[in-house]
Amino acid sequence: MVGAGFAGLYALFRLREAGWEVQGFEAGGGVGGTWYWNRYPGARCDVASVEYSFSFSEELEQEWVWTERYAPQAEILRYLDHVADRFDLRPLIRFDTRVESAVFDAASGGWDVRTSDGEVTRARFVVMATGCLSTANLPDIPGRDSFEGELLHTGRWPHDPVDFAGRRVGVIGTGSSGIQAIPVIAEEAAELVVFQRTPNYSVPAHNGPLPTDELAKVKARYRDLREKNRRSMVGFAGWAPAPGGSAVALSNDERDEALEERWADGGLWFLSAFNDVLFNEQSNELVADFVRRKIRAVVADPAVADKLTPTQVIGCKRMCVDSGYFETFNRPDVRLVDLRETPIEAITPTGVRTTAEDIALDTLVFATGFDAMTGTLMRIDIRGRTGISLQESWEAGPRTYLGLGVPGFPNLFIVTGPGSPSVLTNMVTSIEHHVEWISDCLAHLRSEGYATIEAAEPAADEWVAYVNSVAGITLYTTCNSWYLGANIPGKPRVFMPLFGFAPYVDTCASVAADGYRGFTLTEADVQEARQ
């Protein structure tokens, strides 16, 4: 089990319960994954806390008390620490231990997993619970390493508090992480300079304390909520009103009224006001225009408002959820630098040089995202049945079957891998679904006497074509997003996640019911005969 975030912890729990001997490896010094590394100011989840939580234990669900509508990073980390202790998972994990390679040994039908502590562990199965957003992207801007102030990345935030008081701070990047951190840093810093390459859409979180009676109501109906989430397209907001029809079908007033209602509720569900926002350009433009008007109404200086106003399709890059982001630009001590007008030329020992000026800084925060979905897997030397590496196999983009299995790599499973709905859903719902599917699959192999399972090439080819064809009917492919790998120089442009959770769950169930259709299962003696 590689990773001890939500996915690794649940996989360890579930597989141990099923009677397997399990060993977890975790590069970090503690559990938590994303929530261990992303400790930047303002970090919180933008799926509601009551939904962004495990459903596998009713006792856990009932006893844990979420204090805010959207849980802050520290509370989610406390929750995962609690899970690790409550279910006694820590003894199963080797911390501060990075998996460097995993090599399939055809003779034994198992994997040799080499770790940074020099050990090699033999495993029959390997489950990569390595996360979709776990390898930080630190762009190679000229002079970056010459900076003499403090250089930070939101995804690798120090454990000790960072002091911004009296400092001139720069933030590069205005995705979800930047948009959360900027208002909080602005409160503390002497000056804040925001370096923006692409403006982003953001909807207010309207975060606040979670009233006890509201939490009690959820707890009373938790099974129903979880079931609805599993039957939804995104794995959350299962109780929310169904999306309206097309945005195009309404008058301007009717549309604005519907959008105002969602805006007042806040959060990602805003994008589901109408059922065609991610499919119909005209509908998308009407919704985007509503958000643009909101930005202009908040930002006092029209020139700054213009720079902050996105033009791309809304939702194409992951929409953000904020607490006072646009308001921050009305502060006298916050400045926006539009990198489309004046790109960064270099980072200097004292700050950032754009084509227009030298900006002196004490602290520089990279909120520049991740080598998403494949970055972490591709940094591990994973070698399959024929000795081929995952890097070679995925040279033109990730190839999986169901996002769970990779042809040529027997007995290797990926939790929320590319080709599965993963990042387009509530991650915890997707993780639980995958871990349960993998656990059921291993039980099947054991009971039927199979030694190996491997995604078949034609099944993976068909699956990749299917994922692309679904992406092709959405508007997701119309901009440069990390979903497409467009944020990493040289990365193949392939839309990596699959849109639509509920139909995917049905497909996975039917594959299993069909004796793992599309996978090749090998019996123990056949495996031996192959050598």
H and E: helices and strands count for the chain: 17, 20
Question: Which residue number, 110 or 155, has a Cβ lying nearer to ligand N01?
Answer: 155
Query: Which residues bind to ligand N01, rule: CB under 6 A?
Result: 44-46, 133, 139, 141, 154, 172-178, 180, 197-198, 318, 321, 339, 367-370, 423, 482, 487
Question: Which residue number, 69 or 255, has a Cβ lying nearer to ligand N01?
Answer: 69
Question: Which residue number, 73 or 439, has a Cβ lying nearer to ligand N01?
Answer: 73
Q: What sign for the dihedral angle of Cα 367, 371, 102, 505?
A: positive
CA–CA separation, 92 and 14 (whole Å) = 12
Residue the block writes with tokens 């009676």: 213
Q: Which two tokens stand for residue 55?
A: 């459903």
CA–CA separation, 415 and 271 (whole Å) = 26
Q: Provide the minimum distance between the beta carbon of 174 and ligand N01 in the complex, in angstroms, as a whole number.
A: 4
Q: Provide the minimum distance between the beta carbon of 73 and ligand N01 in the complex, in angstroms, as a whole number.
A: 9
Question: Which residue number, 182 or 250, has a Cβ lying nearer to ligand N01?
Answer: 182
What are the backbone angles phi and psi of residue 124, rounded to the nearest 5°?
-75, -40
Q: Provide the minimum distance between the beta carbon of 79 and ligand N01 in the complex, in angstroms, as a whole number.
A: 15
Question: Which residue number, 145 or 224, has a Cβ lying nearer to ligand N01?
Answer: 145
Q: Provide the minimum distance between the beta carbon of 175 and ligand N01 in the complex, in angstroms, as a whole number.
A: 2
Could you tell me the CA-to-CA distances from 74 to 4, 15, 42, 43, 421 in Å, in that order?
Answer: 16, 27, 10, 9, 26
Q: Provide the minimum distance between the beta carbon of 89 and ligand N01 in the complex, in angstroms, as a whole number.
A: 24
Q: Provide the minimum distance between the beta carbon of 153 and ligand N01 in the complex, in angstroms, as a whole number.
A: 9
Residue the block writes with tokens 């509370």: 75
Question: Which residue number, 320 or 442, has a Cβ lying nearer to ligand N01?
Answer: 320
Angle subtended at Cα 111 by Cα 105 and Cα 113, rounded to the nearest 5 degrees: 125
Question: Which residue number, 112 or 345, has a Cβ lying nearer to ligand N01?
Answer: 345
Question: Which residue number, 267 or 405, has a Cβ lying nearer to ligand N01?
Answer: 267
Q: Provide the minimum distance between the beta carbon of 280 and ligand N01 in the complex, in angstroms, as a whole number.
A: 23
Q: What is the length of the chain?
A: 531
CA–CA separation, 413 and 416 (whole Å) = 9
CA–CA separation, 457 and 81 (whole Å) = 40
Q: Provide the minimum distance between the beta carbon of 132 and ligand N01 in the complex, in angstroms, as a whole number.
A: 8
Q: Provide the minimum distance between the beta carbon of 156 and ligand N01 in the complex, in angstroms, as a whole number.
A: 11
Question: Which residue number, 44 or 433, has a Cβ lying nearer to ligand N01?
Answer: 44
Q: Provide the minimum distance between the beta carbon of 213 and ligand N01 in the complex, in angstroms, as a whole number.
A: 26
Q: Which residue is nearest to ligand N01 (CB)?
A: 175
Closest Cα to residue 290, out of 328, 342, 254, 318? 254
CA–CA separation, 274 and 291 (whole Å) = 14
CA–CA separation, 229 and 166 (whole Å) = 46
Could you tell me the CA-to-CA distances from 209 to 109, 181, 357 in Å, in that order?
Answer: 52, 20, 43
Give buried/exposed letters for 194-226 (b at 16+ CB in 10 A, else e).
bbbbbbbbbbbbebeebeeeebeebbeebeebb
Question: Which residue number, 141 or 248, has a Cβ lying nearer to ligand N01?
Answer: 141
CB-based contact 499:476 (threshold 8 Å)? yes
